[in-house]
Amino acid sequence: MKNYLRNWNWMRLLRLAMGVFIIVQGFTDQQWLPIALGGLFSLMPLMNIGCSGGSDCSTSVPKSNKKMEDITYEEVR
């Protein structure tokens, strides 16, 4: 339970609030599509998943062993 409740930030709270708001609007308008979308928006912060929840989108850091050479400049008049 500790692991589940930690690492909450303002973005997760905002997504949860948006999801609950969309669900409530779907119920008041008696529309099923907003209820389903609100459920999706509510499950994402609760399960801590998102577009890159598994860090699958990260790029590798290029490793370069080349040494940087000093560049000398000439003054042009």
Could you tell me if residue 1 is inside a domain?
no
> Is residue 76 in some structural domain?
no
Of residues 35, 36, 54, 53, the one with CA closest to residue 44: 53
Name which residue leads in pLDDT, 32 or 4.
32
Structure tokens, 52:
């890159």
Whether 62 maps to a domain, the answer reads no
- State residue 62's pLDDT score: 66
SS3 readout for the chain: CHHHHCCCCHHHHHHHHHHHHHHHHHHHHCCHHHHHHHHHHHHHHHHCCCCCCCCCCCCCCCCCCCCCCCCCCCCCC
The domain in which residue 28 lies consists of 9-47
Query: Could you report the per-residue pLDDT of 11-58, keeping only the tens digit for each?
Result: 888 888 999 999 999 999 999 999 999 998 898 888 877 766 555 565
- Please tell me the total count of domains within the chain: 1
Supply the pLDDT for residue 17: 92
- pTM over cut 0.85: no
CA–CA gap between residue 36 and residue 51 (Å, rounded): 18
